[in-house]
Chain A
């Protein structure tokens, strides 16, 4: 079964302001995006499970013009605060890469 890292064009994370982290999953074309969409695997629940946050706190958007999903969650620690490990939030994407997509 393919994993997201095999079929996505991009899986990335980045700050959306100092207190939130936004995850983008993008595909090359509408056909791939639609196939992935039909599996229903990429969902607020998936993000909640991978990042251990309450599902109701996940701001989740499907964005067909970019063949993309976006999910925004609270950062573990505000950007640059004591104990933070990733000021830009740019390296929190790895758990997405191994998500299996039954297509």
Chain B
């Protein structure tokens, strides 16, 4: 099995895909998304990668799959795997098929969840919090812009069994496409899941790390991985390091229906560039599906400025407190109550990166950047608050002030930037479906 790249649209060398296809793989696939870039994509319905970048990757994969009569699968389409993300990927795929006169059976696997169904599950006590989250409530479901379930490999297998050659799926656990294909061909779940884990980030498991194609071979008692670019290699260490990537534990991976346990794994170099892993175990658990949701929390406007004034920097804490008080007074004069907006001030050069976790409280610096953000229920109000904040940052007096023309250097005109609607991840829960399929309807189409 081939994994083309870290995420659809991140790119890969065409020569690597060709090298992969020459080895007659049983499928080619790519992961399409992640929650890593934050809640915006799930909330807004916009894609993570650009349409152009996704089309470039998808065209090469589709042509390769059709020419070699093998399946092509993309998980978590469009970055977040919601319905708009799946639809834009399907539209790109159809466009490529028209342009290259390609014909195939397509399966679209939907992952966006019906709110009424979720409320029924809540009533039936089939939704449980994860990691200390509060129990789910109907109002959290109602407020969510979009909720997706993270599917396992089973819907992919069902699509394969129904003869689909191309599978575009909504939100999926990252290993799902490859785990599905391997199990479809009779490989045991432990090896199939492990292969998926290795392949989901493609050459993240290789050295040097690159956006490039990775080949994975699954046998009943081992998994072998090898990069398809001759300049890259997998070593036992690079493969072990992949197990650390973006997981809470490198040893126990929680997946729908079980745990992948790698504690007894043996990782051995098979050639200079290929690594074989054996000893992985699959421990079946009650079948649960992770839910992801994003809700709109308001509208944001920002402004950015920097100070080079040593007198101001020496009393930045007091200055910021004075700015906050002054902004509150001025905004209150517009008959706006303090509950209607939030003002977030990030101080770069002080603790803009780590916030309260910053251990260096009193480090000296010659510049501080102030990123001011106003969040309110309307864009208009966010704009009003950021405008007042800009002026207040510029002109608030402080003891020993030498440059009364302005406290801050603003790099842009206009200085205030509308960010539009903003979202937060709002669910951290699993649901127990009656079976692995009911949440993920499959739609077939002859393209």
Q: What residues of chain A have their CB less than 8 Å away from a CB belonging to chain B?
A: 14-20, 22, 24, 26, 50-52, 59, 61, 63, 65-68, 70, 72, 74, 76-88, 91-92, 94-95
Contacts and interface: CB of A to CB of B under 8 A. Distances in A.
Interface of B: 35-40, 131-133, 236-237, 240-241, 243-251, 265, 267, 292, 297-298, 342, 344, 346, 352-357, 359, 373, 375, 422-425, 428
A61 B240 CA distance: 14
Nearest to A65: B240
Nearest to B40: A80
Contacts of A83: 342, 344, 355
Contacts of B353: 85-86, 91-92
Contacts of B354: 85-86, 91-92, 94
Contact of A85 (B244, B245, B250, B352): B352
A17 B344 contact: no
A14 B246 CA distance: 6
Contacts, number: 122
Given A18-B425, A80-B39, A87-B38, A59 B248 contact: yes
Given A86-B353, A87-B38, A26 B241 contact: yes
A76 B356 contact: yes
9 contacts: A16-B248, A18-B292, A61-B250, A66-B243, A80-B423, A80-B424, A81-B39, A85-B354, A86-B354
Contact of A67 (B131, B237, B342, B355): B237
A76 B355 contact: yes
Nearest to B41: A80
A84 B359 CA distance: 17
Given A51-B357, A85-B354, A91-B353, A80 B38 contact: yes
A27 to B, nearest CB: 10
Contacts of B357: 51-52, 76, 92, 95
Contacts of A66: 237, 240-241, 243-244, 250
A81 B251 contact: no
A81 B237 CA distance: 35
B279 to A, nearest CB: 11
- 4 smallest A-B Cβ distances: which pairs? A80-B38, A66-B240, A65-B240, A72-B248
B359 A63 contact: no
A67 B239 CA distance: 12
A79 B247 contact: no
A79 B375 contact: no
A30 B200 CA distance: 27
Given A63-B240, A65-B240, A82 B342 contact: yes
A36 B332 CA distance: 57
A65 B267 CA distance: 8
A19 B428 contact: yes
Contact of A78 (B355, B356, B359, B425): B425
Given A17-B248, A76-B356, 6 more contacts: A17-B246, A22-B244, A61-B250, A66-B240, A68-B241, A82-B342
Contacts of B356: 52, 76
B265 A65 contact: yes
A33 B221 CA distance: 29
B244 A95 contact: no
B342 A70 contact: no
B37 A87 contact: yes
Contacts of B355: 76-77, 83, 85
B173 to A, nearest CB: 12
A20 B428 CA distance: 11
Contacts of B265: 65
A38 to B, nearest CB: 21
Contacts of B243: 63, 65-66
B425 A80 contact: yes
Nearest to A30: B237
